[in-house]
Amino acid sequence: MAVVNSVVLPIRTQEDIVRVRQATREAAVGQGFSLVDQTKLVTAASELARNTLDYGKGGDVEITRLSEPPRRGVRLVFTDQGPGIAAIDQALPGGFTSGGGLGLGLSGAKRLSNDFSIVSKVGEGTQVMIARWR
């Protein structure tokens, strides 16, 4: 799996979420994603960026364009040093929220992606990885 290029963006403000959406769209377009696939990835990015800001108290995202002929993909890795998620198995199925939202963020992002993984340690932070391929 070859990395075509990679950028890291901070997630500290609500405007940063907008920037993450735009940068994700750019990467998806650059990789030749269809409009539906672009939209799914950008929506997933928006959910996870908001999680990073609201629950993780800020962090960053690494947006990477991947090449694995014949397929091409975009990988997003969201990292925060926030409180961590104690009950991932509760947060993941959806519908569960500790932050006043709908609880769709994590589960929705997972459904909208081809690859998904999450590592979280209470008191240390959370890292969520998603990837989508064409």
Interface with other proteins by CB under 8 A: which residues?
14-15, 17-18, 21-22, 25, 35-36, 38-40, 42-43, 46-47, 50, 94, 101-102, 104-105, 107-108, 111-112
Q: How far is the CB of 112 from other proteins (least distance, A)?
A: 6
Q: How far is the CB of 66 from other proteins (least distance, A)?
A: 21
Distance CA 88, CA 32 (A): 33
Task: Please provide the size of the chain in residues.
Answer: 134
Q: Which is nearer to other proteins, 48 or 66 (CB)?
A: 48
Q: Which is nearer to other proteins, 21 or 72 (CB)?
A: 21
Using CB atoms within 10 Å of the CB of residue 13, give its burial: 0 to 12 exposed, 13 to 18 middle, 19+ buried: exposed
Residue 38 backbone zone (phi > 0: left; psi -120 to 50: alpha; other: beta): alpha
Q: Which is nearer to other proteins, 10 or 67 (CB)?
A: 10
**3-state secondary structure (DSSP) of residue 49:** helix
